[in-house]
């Protein structure tokens, strides 16, 4: 990693951002802006436009026009592939620039940001570029006097609302398959992490994506997100974020054109450590990274660590010792293990959970804001024991560096605790017993279940939740299902 270049990029001025509508940069229709506060020092980094309903309407109109005239939707698959592959190459070429800009905007440590943001996004774009001509229609086996064809067609205009924790990675999970399928998109980034997604869209234009096919409108969720949700000309809406916002988007769909809405709404993921864990030290290290990297701001974070009672005290002691070795601080220092919390609001929410946990359990380590003299939003990794499954810290998503440790005595109890929340996004099982591993994979209600690891899946497998963690899937070829309609042709011979 080129630390000299990182330092130069750290201090580079960031010009005010613009919307991107119909291939052209523009300000909000009323000229309003929002300050971008860097979580590294609490200072204003730049501004983004505070988009309006009129801006959303313009973007949706541009997207519909681009879709209907076929400038992208009717291109041969090979031509779309060529543009997407060039886009992926440009993202890789500008990876360090994008990573540093993202760190300054949302606080992720640079080691994780470089890999998980631009490099991950480039890989995702390339994956769907290579996959777009592998999706075939069907010939149904029906009466031989009829030719029954099933066509797959792009849905039209997609609205995509992306969160602040991994904007490029999650943005690419939605943009790449939607565009590869031939759709047009209106993208709304999070207010506290818009800058890299604007740059990503600019690179798409440079790669040859026609104007109007990808539009970006920044601004408040209550304005821009609502306008997308209520639009009568958005065919599909995809969202990653909170359950409360997800519910509102479903309401907006019902109040407008009944657009399909696909939601990924986070989780309270159980990381289950059995007494026959094959390598307890490895489980400790992976579990720590699974909750403390990116300051716990990860949808699939293993925030509930369920530990079999016979090894509970040993595991907690080892986890505390390992956590002490993790460096929290300047996210642009490559030796940092956990960077800044995204915003002051999020930091205060995290500390509120910890304040409750002081009564509900025992703080083994952490629990405080640190490095206040920097002006940034930094928090100690926090381990809480004495937690019961009924405590709020064991049921609600904190989205911060807070691990709740819960003991259990049997496989059945572990399953009951694991499934005892409204969420079902991810989980992990640590055991040397192959039979137990298979039983637990089937029994735990989650979209992805890791065994003897946590995280690390690639684009070949889907990510989606059950229960109140959402519906639909990002990643894998299954993601195309959200962005393609099925049309039957019933032809009498």
The pLDDT assigned to 47 comes to 98
For the chain, give me the number of helices (H) and strands (E)? 16, 21
The pLDDT assigned to 361 comes to 74
CB atoms within 10 A of CB 491: 9
How far, in Å, CA of 310 to CA of 314, rounded? 9
CA dihedral 377, 378, 384, 387 (to 10 degrees): 20
Assess contact for 249 and 243: CB atoms under 8 A.
Answer: no
Model confidence at 165, pLDDT cuts 50, 70, 90, reads very high
The pLDDT assigned to 5 comes to 94
> What's the whole-number mean pLDDT along residues 1-20?
94
- pLDDT higher than 90, residue 357: no
The pLDDT assigned to 73 comes to 98
- Looking at residue 145, the DSSP 8-state letter turns out to be T
Name the helix (H) or strand (E) containing 16: none
Model confidence at 360, pLDDT cuts 50, 70, 90, reads confident
Candidate list 109, 191, 264, 308, residue with the active-site label = 264
For residue 167, give both structure tokens: 């904007």
Residue 422 CA: distances (Å) to CA of 159, 268, 417, 446, 462: 26, 8, 12, 11, 21
> What's the whole-number mean pLDDT along residues 375-389?
96
Phi, psi of 297 (to 5 degrees): -90, 65
- pLDDT higher than 90, residue 404: yes
How far, in Å, CA of 161 to CA of 430, rounded? 35
For residue 24, give both structure tokens: 């052209």
Residue 332 CA: distances (Å) to CA of 58, 80, 140, 198: 37, 36, 56, 21
Assess contact for 342 and 193: CB atoms under 8 A.
Answer: yes
- Looking at residue 492, the DSSP 8-state letter turns out to be E
Give the pLDDT confidence of 278-315 residue by residue, as tens digits: 999 999 999 999 999 999 999 999 999 999 999 999 99
Assess contact for 422 and 467: CB atoms under 8 A.
Answer: yes
Q: Which residues pair with 47 in a beta bridge?
A: 35
Give the contacts of 338 (CB within 8 A, at least 6 positions apart). 109, 292, 293, 294, 295, 326, 327, 328, 381, 401
DSSP string, 213-257: SEEE--S-IIIIIHHHHH-TT--EEEEES-HHHHHHHHHHHHHTT
- pLDDT higher than 80, residue 111: yes
> What's the whole-number mean pLDDT along residues 249-264?
98
Rounded mean pLDDT of the chain? Answer: 97
Q: Which residues pair with 139 in a beta bridge?
A: 149
Name the helix (H) or strand (E) containing 430: strand 426-430
264 tagged catalytic: yes
Give the pLDDT confidence of 146-158 residue by residue, as tens digits: 999 999 999 999 9
> What's the whole-number mean pLDDT along residues 213-225?
98
Give the contacts of 18 (CB within 8 A, at least 6 positions apart). 25, 26, 27, 49, 198
How far, in Å, CA of 219 to CA of 32, rounded? 9
* Percentage of residues of the chain with pLDDT beyond 70: 100
For residue 436, give both structure tokens: 């137990």
With CA atoms as reference, report the closest residue to 200 among 162, 171, 224: 171
For 338, the 3-state DSSP assignment is strand
How much is the pTM?
Answer: 0.97
**Can you list the domains of the chain with their CATH numbers?**
3-265+470-492 (3.40.605.10), 270-467 (3.40.309.10)
The pLDDT assigned to 456 comes to 84
Q: Which residue has the higher pLDDT, 274 or 359?
A: 274
For residue 22, give both structure tokens: 């119909």
Give the pLDDT confidence of 311-332 residue by residue, as tens digits: 999 999 999 999 999 999 999 9
Give the pLDDT confidence of 23-55 residue by residue, as tens digits: 999 999 999 999 999 999 999 999 999 999 999
């Amino acid at each position: 990693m080129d630390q000299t270049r990182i330092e130069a990029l750290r201090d580079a001025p960031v010009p005010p951002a613009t919307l991107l509508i119909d291939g052209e940069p523009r300000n909000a229709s009323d000229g309003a802006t929002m300050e971008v506060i860097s979580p590294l020092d609490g200072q204003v980094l730049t501004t983004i436009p505070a988009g309006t309903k009129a801006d959303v309407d313009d973007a949706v109109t541009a997207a519909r026009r681009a879709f209907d005239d076929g400038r992208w939707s009717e291109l041969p698959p090979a031509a779309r592939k060529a543009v997407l592959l060039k886009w992926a190459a440009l993202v890789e070429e500008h990876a360090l620039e994008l990573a540093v800009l993202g760190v300054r905007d949302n606080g992720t440590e640079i080691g994780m940001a470089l890999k998980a943001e631009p490099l991950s996004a480039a890989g995702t774009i390339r994956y769907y570029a290579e996959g777009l001509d592998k999706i075939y229609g069907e010939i149904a086996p029906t009466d031989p006097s009829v030719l029954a064809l099933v066509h797959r067609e792009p849905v039209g205009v997609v609205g995509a609302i992306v969160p602040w924790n991994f904007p490029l990675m999650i943005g690419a999970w939605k943009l790449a398959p939607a565009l590869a399928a031939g759709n047009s998109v209106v993208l709304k980034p999070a207010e506290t992490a818009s800058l890299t997604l604007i740059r990503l869209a600019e690179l798409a234009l440079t790669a040859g994506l026609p104007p109007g096919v990808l539009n970006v409108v920044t601004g408040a969720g209550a304005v821009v997100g609502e306008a997308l949700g209520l639009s009568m000309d958005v065919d599909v809406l995809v969202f990653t974020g909170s359950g409360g916002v997800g519910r509102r988007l479903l309401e907006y769909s019902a109040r407008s054109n009944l657009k399909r809405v696909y939601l990924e709404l986070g989780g309270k993921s159980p990381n289950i450590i059995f007494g026959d864990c094959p390598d307890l030290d490895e489980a400790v290290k992976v579990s720590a990274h699974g909750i403390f990297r990116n300051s716990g701001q990860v949808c699939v974070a293993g925030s509930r660590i369920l530990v079999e009672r016979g090894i509970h005290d040993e595991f907690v002691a080892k986890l505390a010792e390992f956590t002490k070795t993790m460096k929290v601080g300047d996210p642009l220092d490559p030796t940092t293990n956990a960077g800044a919390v995204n915003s002051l609001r999020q930091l205060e929410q995290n500390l509120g959970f910890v304040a409750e946990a002081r009564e509900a359990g025992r703080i083994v380590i952490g629990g405080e804001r640190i490095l206040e003299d920097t002006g940034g939003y930094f928090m100690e990794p926090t381990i809480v024991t004495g937690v019961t499954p009924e405590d709020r810290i064991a049921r609600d998503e904190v989205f911060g560096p807070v691990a709740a440790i819960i003991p259990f005595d049997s496989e059945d109890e572990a399953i009951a605790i694991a499934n005892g929340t409204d969420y079902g996004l991810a989980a992990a099982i640590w055991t040397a017993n192959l039979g137990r591993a298979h039983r637990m994979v089937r029994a735990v209600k989650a979209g992805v279940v890791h065994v003897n690891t946590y995280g690390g899946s690639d684009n070949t497998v889907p990510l989606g939740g059950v229960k109140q963690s959402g519906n639909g899937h990002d990643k894998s070829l299954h993601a195309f299902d959200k962005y393609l309609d099925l049309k039957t042709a019933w032809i009498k011979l």
